Chains A and B, each alone.
Chain A
Amino acid sequence: MSNAPAEQTPTEEIDLAAANHIIDKYLTLHGNLMPVLQGIQDEYGYVPKPTIDLVAERLNVYPSQIFGVLTFYAQFHLKPRGRYIIRVCVGTACHVQGASRIVETFFDKLHIGHAETSPDLRYTFEKVACLGACGMAPLAMVNDATYGSMTVQKVEQIIADYNQRPMKK
């Protein structure tokens, strides 16, 4: 409400109805910022800028503080994420079992690096420290599905499989 120039109109065009619905749900709860942001992330796959402005306005929290929370927790993402999140474990057990070759194969095939998202928003690729299933090393996960004893051939199969899957949830 200052006399500083008004915020520029958001460049991202997104439907705020769902975000409004999430805020409605938690509006009266004390300490509602985290569940609201988690809800928005679940809904949109990331936390889009217009929703931050909306949350700031409706919950009466400074946008800077919301941004502080979002950048503090690793669970929040500020950029669109792929429909399918591929995680490859590079923890000790997986490393010993050749995880680096699995990682490189994904890089080659998907043309994206660590923590990057493909331009068609189908894939996001992440190296992670441990997925907690060292007996199945080397290990990869796509969303909630686990793939153990990974090989280069299996990488190609997984990609071919997920290329066929739908983009809509």
Chain B
Amino acid sequence: MVNLTIDDKQVTVPKDATIYDAAKAAGIRIPILCHDKKLHPFGGCRMCLVEVEQMKGRQIPACTTPVTEGMIVRTSTPDIIQARKMVLELLLLKHPIDCPVCDAAGDCDLQNLTYEYKVNANRFTDEKFQHKIDYENPLIERDMNRCIHCGKCARICDEIVSYGAYSFLNRGLEAKIGTEFDGPLNCEFCGSCVSVCPVGALLSRPFKFKARWWALSKTKTVCSYCGTGCQLTLGIKDGKVLTTIYDENQGFHNGQLCTRGRWGYQFVNSDKRLTTPLIRKNGKLVQASWEEALSAVKERLFSAKTAGGESAACLVTPRLTNEELFVLKKLFNVALGSQNIDHSAGYAHNALSAGALESLGYAASPSTIADIQKTNLLLVVKSDAYETHPVLGFEINLGVKRKGVDLRVVSDKRGKLSRLPDATTYVHKPGSEVLLFNAMARVIIGENLVDAGASSISGLAELKNSLQGYAPEKVAEACGMSADEIIVLARDYAKAEKALIMLPLGLGYPGHGKDLAQALINLALLTGKIGKEGCGVLIMGEKNNSQGAVDMGVYPAKGGKDAVAILDGCAAGTVKTLYVVGENPVVSYPNRKAVEAALDKVEFLIVQDLFLTETAEKAHVVLPACSFAEKDGTFTSVGKVIQRVNRAIAPVGLSRSDFEILNALYAACANTQPYADVAAVFAEISENVPAYKGISYAGLGENGVIWPAGGTPRFVPAEGGAVQGESGKYALLTGSALNHCGTLSRFGEGPMYVCPAGYAELSYTDASALKVKNDDLLTLKSASGEVRLKAKVSARMPQGVIFAPYHFGEESVNTLTTGAPVTWVNVSK
């Protein structure tokens, strides 16, 4: 620790602190323009000049100067104030003072400092910049005339996002921030640059001219897209969510958001939202009152109840809050007597609800998000971890670049993570993951790299036996890797002091189920890498409350039907009433044709959703539900964090929150009193769900609570076979596109601007063999169907492999797939 004096205050700070950090710790504010706590110090703007007595009164930048013992610092002498005024005068020389029409006004560091330092006249004159404004993309407006060259946008894009869209171009007076070839911006559109821009040079176009900064009210809540659990601040005016607001002190991610979190909010106030209940009359869905719709639903549920409950089934989205899921489960299990309830097609939660549960004793990841930056070796299963959970991707970037984490990507295609410094990517054949990880486990056992503690875990002998057939030399060919690569990876993993495995789940990843999770947990258990900081397996649920849905037990138990069996039951006539809450199986479940046939067949289909989805169009009754911005409750994210969701606006139209609807149905069907509020349900959850024991709704606070995991681990052998290719066919992999999450993001304008439709991504070699260019239409044909998708030629795909995102309703890839990890398709132009 170092002691110094700032403005006559004694301060003690760590020796790697800067004067700026020390002043902040002492509660002394030093003005900044180019400094950001998330970024490396830059020292460009000269606003943070201070005087240090030992430096003979020279003015030095506080943000880049490390503290030394006995330093005496003065932050606001008359000379310093004069110098800062001069800095502002020089900046205002080029800055167009167009604050009345600038969206940043009110949130502009330059404006605020100009006011604070009373710079009401300028001693200098000069011409303003004449840069062309970049209106080429729909999300980020770049007006470089307003730029003050703090470089924060270029630095955040490099240091955290690792995309590198911007750089300083030219030199001296002509210097400016620009893109490669000084062209229009064409990037991931995460908007990190907009969030840190201290002026109005980078603006959110969807928010432009929507509201003055000071007219917005703010509500803190949690993002409703992926399972990362990023905290959001919504900007609200006149009952509408108009923007997301950057707050650098929010959440583990320090306010950092991805493209869908930042720009995907528009679905909340979309004019496509359902505003009244709908009932099918004479084959057509027509508007109805809540009384009419609910009594029709109740009637069906009552008759199902009388018949024993088994004829009713439910498919629910893990986007609901824990409280809603809990009440829904009670509605089915307790009130109706049906165990037929499932989510995420039955397979996208298997890694947790079956794999982790069996191997660890609890259905959750043993690790937390904080482990990513604390580990030494990070093994990421599929480069898609960046696309499914972009903000965790930023954590990986930071771990690799700042903490020197050794990144190993094991994937069936390359990806953005492969480009990180010193990252190693092992490209294996599609569907061979379990083989590969079993082979690694065998190497670890064979080379005596097993941790001493592993012998006390039950099942070691069975595991050893089960791994007989997985010698690296034997499986190398089926994996498409060399035996040496497998051996080296296994050794490095075992020998690393701390190692973390990341496994993304999702509807697009049918192969990421029980066996894969168990093969990975075996690796971690064998090498003693569970239960320690920076170690373990981080299983990343796809949706905002995927972990919560598993915690609430929203999957079949006691002989109940799983998602596949429910749909089969619909087709066979054994399921007569199907209640679909928020799910869109027509687009997101495998085998679209079979799903549609089942939904067409079922006697009574109730769909509760925000939008008239492809599934809702088939319903007999459609109930309009509320978005996350209109409700209170809790979500549980990756790493078991329970966080509060706060209501920001009143329900849109006549829509009601899922909680309100389900609460009423539960009370009616169970013939009991409804729950008083969300907190009452949470109280019951904490009594009934052991993991949530002792946690109170009020006690969750702003950053939520990580529920404590405890269980008896054991080795469970995982079955892995070689995926048999079919000659002349391509391996089709489905998955997530960076801008989308599930089928909800299709209703957010931002993501749809950037990625409006599905595509088929293929390698240059295959593209030239098929004679296709970007945007040519390709016909993909599998045993179960045919779709036409635009080609996207890219360097990341291996030969013979095609990737297609699953989010889109038109030409949806689930027409081709049937739930196997790899689908073999014929491709033609």
Contact = CB atoms under 8 A, between A and B. Distances in A.
Interface in A95-135: none
A56 B164 CA distance: 11
B169 A68 contact: yes
Q: Which 3 A-B pairs have the closest CB atoms?
A: A62-B164, A68-B167, A63-B180
Interface stretch (B183-191, B590-598, B653-661): B183-191
Contact of B187 (A2, A49, A65, A66): A2
Interface stretch (A3-11, A27-35, A146-154): A3-11
A65 B419 contact: no
A65 B162 CA distance: 12
16 contacts: A2-B163, A4-B187, A62-B158, A62-B163, A63-B164, A63-B181, A64-B165, A64-B178, A67-B178, A67-B180, A68-B167, A68-B168, A68-B169, A72-B168, A72-B169, A72-B170
B818 interface: no
A66 B180 contact: yes
Contact of B181 (A1, A9, A67): A67
Among B164, B167, B180, B415, residue most surrounded by chain A Cβ atoms (within 10 Å): B180
A60 interface: yes
A6 B164 contact: no
A73 to B, nearest CB: 8
Contacts of A68: 167-169, 178
A64 B754 contact: no
Contacts of B738: 2-3
A2 B416 contact: yes
B182 interface: yes
A52 B737 CA distance: 27
A71 interface: yes
Contacts of B794: 1, 6
Contacts of A66: 180
Contact of A3 (B188, B774, B795): B188
Interface string B737-750: 11100000000000
Interface string A50-77: 0010001100101111111001100000
B167 A3 contact: no
B419 A71 contact: no
A9 to B, nearest CB: 8
A100 B738 CA distance: 58
Contacts of A67: 167, 169, 178-182
The B contact surface, by secondary structure, is loop
Contacts of B188: 2-4
Contacts of B739: 3
A127 to B, nearest CB: 18
Given A64-B178, A72-B170, A72-B171, A5 B165 contact: no
Q: Which of B158, B181, B421, B737 has the most CB of A within 10 A?
A: B181
B754 A4 contact: yes
A99 B165 CA distance: 44
A56 B421 CA distance: 13
A104 B508 CA distance: 68
A71 B793 contact: no
Given A1-B416, A6-B793, A71-B170, A64 B179 contact: yes
B414 to A, nearest CB: 7
B84 interface: no
Nearest to B188: A2
B166 interface: yes
Contacts of A4: 186-189, 754
Interface in B86-119: none
Interface string B245-282: 00000000000000000000000000000000000000
Contacts of B387: 3
Contacts of A1: 414-416, 418-419, 794, 796
Given A49-B181, A65-B164, 12 more contacts: A3-B738, A4-B189, A4-B754, A62-B165, A62-B180, A63-B164, A64-B166, A67-B167, A67-B179, A68-B168, A71-B170, A71-B171
Nearest to B415: A1
A71 B180 CA distance: 10
Nearest to A3: B738
Interface string B745-787: 0000000001100000000000000000110000000000000
Nearest to A62: B164
A52 B738 CA distance: 26
B792 interface: yes
Interface string A1-45: 111111001000000000000000000000000000000000000
